[in-house]
Amino acid sequence: MRLHSLRARIALVFVVLMLLAQAAAYIVINSVILKNAHENAEEQLSVAERVFGQVLRSNSQQLTQAASVAASDFGFREAVATHDSKTVASALQNHGDRIHADAVMLVDLDGKLIADTDGAAHEGMAFPFPHLIRTVAQKGDASSFGMIGGKAYQLVAVPVKAPIVIAWVVMGFAIDDVLAREMSSLTSLDVSFLTVDERDRWDVVASSLPEASRVRLKDQAQLADDGYATRMVRLHSEGRTVAVLLDRSLKEALAPFRRLQSALLLITMLGVIVSIVGSVLTARSVTRPLAALAQFSRRVGHGDYSGPIEIRHQDEIGELASAFNQMQEGIVERESRITELAYMDRLTGLPNRALFNDRLQHAIVAASGSRRPLSVMMMDLDRFKLVNDTLGHPIGDLLLCEVAGRLRAALHRPTDTVARLGGDEFAVLLPEGDLAAARVVAARMLRALEEPITIEGQLVDVGASIGIVIYPEHGTDMNVLLRRADIAMYAAKRANLGHALYDARHDHNSAERLSLMGELRQAVEHDQLTLYYQPKVDLATHRVTHVEALVRWDHPTRGFVSPDQFIPFAEQTGYIKTITRWVADKALAQCAAWRAEGIELAVSVNVSARELILSSLPEMFQGLLEKHGVAPDRLWIEITESAIMDDPNHAIETLDRLHALGIRLSIDDFGTGYSSLSYLKRMPVDELKIDKSFVMGMTHHKDDETIVRSTIDLGHNMGLKVVAEGVENEAMMQRLNALGCDLAQGFHLSRPLPPAKLAQWLIEQSAQADAFAEPSLPA
C-alpha cells in the first residue's frame, strides 16, 4: 500500500483516531485508578488515625482504671501514708503487672518520686512531667506522652487520697516496636513514633518498619517523592515532642489495581490492532470501488465506451458509479452530436469540408501504397446566386438539399464521397477512380442536375461547373489537388464546358501572383502607388471639369505593373478594399490641393463589385470627404454595370446611401453587362460611360455606332450625362459630338497624367477651349 495513496491515508486516519481514542481512554482510566489509589490511601490514613486515636484512648482508660484501683486500695494508701516503701513498691508492681504496665511510679506532693517499678528514674528525683501532676490536681486524672530515660511512654496519673491527696500514682505503657507493630496490624499501615530533639531533628523511637527502612522516616518530603502517603499525628506530650507517623506505600495501594492496569493495557493494544485491521479493510472497501471508477474514467478518457461500470453498492459509491454511467452516456451522445456537427453539413446531411479533407488524406495514403490513381472533383452551381436573390434563401436551402440528394444518387460505389464545402460548392472523391471514371461520374452528375427541379411549385433551373484532378498526375498533396481542382472548375465555368480537367496553363502565374500580392501590400503600406488623372472633356465647350483617378504601380524591380494584373487579383483576395480607400484618400487630398491653387476639378474614383455590397462604403467616403474638406458633389464614384448586376438589391441600396450624401454616381463600361431598364431606372446615377470597345469600333462597324447612338439617346432620355471612353482620333470625337455625346475621354484628348503634368495640360486645354469659343462671339 503506497504511503500517499488514499487507502493509506484512510487507514492512517482510522489508526490515528483509534490510537488517540485508546490513549485517551487509557490515560483517563489510569488517572482514575491513580486517583482512587490516592483516595484509598488517604482514606486508610484517616481511618488509621481514628483507630490509632481510639487505641490510645483505650490504653489511657486502661491505665487510668488500673491506677485508680491502686490509689483506692486501703493497704496501699496506708503504706503510702506510713511511708512503707516496700509495701508501696510491691503494691505498685502488682497493680502494674495486672495490666502489663511498663512503668508504675508514685510521686509525692513535692513532685518527687517515691517509688518506680521500672527503675527508669531514681527515688527522690523530681518527676519529669510536672504538668501532668498539675493537670491531675485540676481535673482528677490526666494522660500524656513523654520521654523517660530515652524511652517514650504513654502515662496517666491519679491522686492517692487519705482522704486528702497524699500522693500521685503514675502508670504508663512503653512506646516500642511491639506497640508499633500492633498498631500496624490494626491499621494495615506502617506506624512509627518519632521525637524531635533540640535541633529540630526527628528521631525514630519505635516503628513497625525494619531497621533498614527507618532512615527514610527522618525526611518526610522524601517520603512523598518516594511514593508514600503520610499522616503525622502529634501526641499530647511534655518535654520533647512525641508524634506518630502513619504512612502508606502507594505502590502497595496500587497493587490491587495492577491487574486492572494490565488488562487495560492489553485491551488498548488489542483495540489498536483491531483498529489497524479494521481501517485497512475499511480503506480497501472504499478505495477498491474508487480504483474501479478511476480505471473506468481512464477508459472513457481514451475514448473507450464499450460498457458501463458495474454497480455493486447501494450507497454513495453506488450513486457515484451510476453518475459515471450517466456521464458516459452523456459523453457518447455529445460526442456523436459533436462528430455530426464537426463532420456533417447540417443543411444537406452530406460530409462537410473537414470530413472530406480527412477522407481525401486517407485516400492519398492508401493510393500511394497501392500506386493506384484517385480522382477529386470540385463543383460549383451556376445561377445559384440568382435563385437566392430572386426566390429567397429558404428556396435556396431547399435547392441545395435537392442537389445534394441528386449528387449522392449519382455515385454508385459506397467508397465514393460527395461533400458540401460551403455555399453552393461541392466536392467529390473517387478513391479508386481514374480519369475515365471521373469523366463518367461528372457527366452523370451534370445530367442529374439537368433534370427539372421544382421547389415549392417553383421551377428552378441550375447548372454546374466541375473541375477534375487526378492523383498523382496533378499533385500528391491534398491542398495542391484541391486548389488545382478549383482552378479547373473555374476554367470549366469560363468556357461553359460543364466539366474540365486541370491544365497547368490555367495556373502558370499562381506563384508569381502570390508574390505580387505580398509586394502589393507593401506598396500600399509604404505609399509606393501613385495616382494618374485622365481628364473628361466637354465636347460642346472643350473645357475640363472632371478627371478620373487611375492607380499606377511603378515596381522597383518589375517596372510598370498594369492595373489589369493586380486589380483583379486584389478583388479576388479582398484586398481591393484597402486599395480603394488609399485611392480615394489620395484623390480627395489632390482635389483639395487643386482647389487651393484655384483649379476647380471634380474627381472620379472606381469602386469594385466586392465593395459595392459593403454596408460601410458610404461611411468610408463620408469620413474622407470630411477629412479633406471636399464638397460631396466634387466626388464621382464609377461602378461597372456588371458589378451592379452581381447583387442588384444590395448595390442599389448602397448607391442610394451614396447619393444621399451628395456624391455623384456613374455607370462604367455600360453596354457590356446584362442590366435591365427596370434596374437602371431605380439607380440614382448621374452619368453613363459607354464602353470603349463600342466607341473604338463605331467607325468601322455600323452595329457599334448603333449601340453608341442608342446609349446616348437612352441616357439623355433618362436625364443622364453620357461619357464616351476610348476616343483615339479626331474623327471619333467629331462623330460623338454629332451624336450628341456630352463628354469624351481617351488618348486623343490626353493620356492619364500625374498631377503636375495635368496642371500644365489644363492650361493648354483652357487656351484651346477659348480659341474654340471665339467664333461664337459677336463680331
| 713 is a domain residue | yes
Classify residue 319: in a domain, yes or no: no
CATH, residue 580:
3.20.20.450
Last residue of a domain, one of 249, 264, 279: 249
Q: Give which of 250, 181, 193 is closest to 217, Cα–Cα.
A: 193
SS3 for 397? helix
pLDDT, tens digit (0-9, with 9 covering 90-100), for 553-602: 888 888 888 887 788 777 766 788 889 999 999 999 999 999 999 999 99
Nearest to 157 by CA among 107, 203, 117, 118: 107
Question: Residue 751: pLDDT above 80?
Answer: yes
Q: Are 406 and 426 in contact (CB under 8 A)?
A: no
Quick one: 499 and 373 in the same domain? yes
Residues 420 and 560 in one domain: no
What local confidence, expressed as pLDDT, does residue 3 receive?
57
Mark whether 576 and 696 lie in a shared domain: yes
What local confidence, expressed as pLDDT, does residue 250 receive?
Answer: 72
Whole-number Å distance between alpha carbons of 646 and 384: 12
Q: Tell me what pLDDT residue 530 has.
A: 93
Q: Are the C-beta atoms of 636 and 664 separated by less than 8 Å? A: yes
SS3 508: coil
Domain boundary pick from 249, 275, 304: 249
pLDDT of residue 678: 64
Q: Which three cell numbers mark 26?
A: 487509557
What pLDDT was estimated at residue 634? 95
Place of cell 454511467: 325
Q: Which of 242, 218, 238 is nearest to 230 (CA)?
A: 218
- Distance from C-alpha of 149 to C-alpha of 116, rounded to nearest angstrom: 13
Shared domain for 93 and 163, answered yes or no, is yes
Domain range enclosing 372? 344-508
* CA separation for the pair 640, 675 (Å, rounded): 11
CB 32 within 8 A of CB 278: no
Q: Cell numbers 518527676 label which residue?
A: 127
Q: What is the pLDDT of residue 373?
A: 92
Q: Could you give the 3-state DSSP secondary structure of residue 507?
A: helix
State whether residue 641 is helix, strand or coil: helix
Percent of the chain with pLDDT over 90: 28
> Residues, the chain, total?
779
Looking at the structure, tell me whether residues 500 and 542 fall in a common domain. Answer: no
Together in a domain, 697 and 656: yes
Q: Is residue 694 part of a domain?
A: yes
Clarify whether residues 371 and 225 are in a common domain: no
Task: List the CATH number of the domain containing 387.
Answer: 3.30.70.270
Torsional class of 597: left (φ above 0), alpha (ψ -120 to 50), beta (otherwise): alpha
Coil vs helix vs strand at 466: strand
pLDDT at 673 over 60: no
Mean pLDDT, residues 484-496: 86
Lowest mean pLDDT among 107-111, 266-270, 755-759, 771-775: 771-775
User: Quick check: is 338 in a domain?
Assistant: no
- The residue ranking higher by pLDDT, 703 or 261, is 703
pLDDT tens readout for residues 133-180: 888 777 766 788 888 877 888 889 989 887 888 898 999 888 888 888
Categorize the per-residue pLDDT at 1 as very low, low, confident or very high, splitting at 50, 70 and 90.
low
Give pLDDT, residue 254: 67
Partner residues linked to 501 by β-bridges: 468
Q: Count other Cβ atoms within 10 Å, centred on residue 479.
A: 10
pLDDT greater than 50 at residue 778: no
> Is pLDDT at 118 greater than 70 in this prediction?
no
Based on the fold, state whether residues 482 and 594 are members of the same structural domain: no
**How high is the pLDDT of residue 570?**
78
Instruction: Give the span between the Cα atoms of 576 and 555, in whole angstroms.
Output: 18
Answer for the pair 104, 114: CB distance below 8 angstroms, yes or no.
Answer: no
Mean pLDDT to the nearest integer, 600-609: 90
Q: What is the pLDDT of residue 5?
A: 67
Q: Name the average pLDDT for the chain.
A: 83
Query: What grid cell was written down for 393?
Result: 434563401
Same-domain check for residues 746 and 597: yes
The reported pLDDT for the residue numbered 777 is 43
Confidence of residue 312 (pLDDT cuts 50, 70, 90): low
Residues 498 and 535 both lie in one domain: no
Nearest-angstrom CA–CA distance, 748 and 39: 137
CA angle 318, 321, 326 (to 5 degrees): 125
For the sheet with 417-422, list strands across it.
417-422, 425-430, 374-382, 463-471, 499-501
Residue 308's SS3 state is coil
- Assess if residue 105 is contained within a domain: yes
Please check whether residues 605 and 474 belong to one and the same domain: no
Work out the average pLDDT over 637-641. Answer: 84
Q: Which of 295-309, 607-621, 708-722 is the most confident on average?
A: 708-722
Give the closest residue to 640 by CA, choosing from 613, 677, 666, 619: 666
**pLDDT of 779:** 38
Residue 596 lies in a domain: yes
**How many domains is the chain built from?**
3
3-class secondary structure, 206: strand
Least reliable range by pLDDT among 114-123, 347-356, 377-386: 114-123
Last residue of a domain, one of 208, 224, 249: 249
Quote the CA–CA distance of 638 and 474 in Å, as a whole number: 41
Half-sphere exposure of 391 (CA within 13 A, CB side): 20
The pLDDT of residue 233 is: 83
Per-residue pLDDT tens digits for 720-747: 999 999 999 998 999 999 999 999 999 9
Burial class (CB in 10 A: 0-12, 13-18, 19+), 620: middle
Mean pLDDT of 454-470: 87
The mean pLDDT of 696-711, rounded to a whole number, is 87
Does the residue 436 lie in any domain? yes
CATH number at residue 66: 3.30.450.20
**Quick one: CA dihedral 517, 519, 525, 528, positive or negative?**
negative
Going by C-alpha positions, the residue among 492, 501, 467 that lies closest to residue 482 is 467
Task: Let me know if residue 572 belongs to a domain.
Answer: yes
- Residue-level pLDDT at 417: 94
Q: Which of 325-334, 343-352, 639-648 has the lowest mean pLDDT?
A: 639-648
Question: Do 84 and 182 belong to one domain?
Answer: yes
The model's pLDDT over 515-525, given as tens digits with 9 standing for 90+, comes to: 777 788 888 88
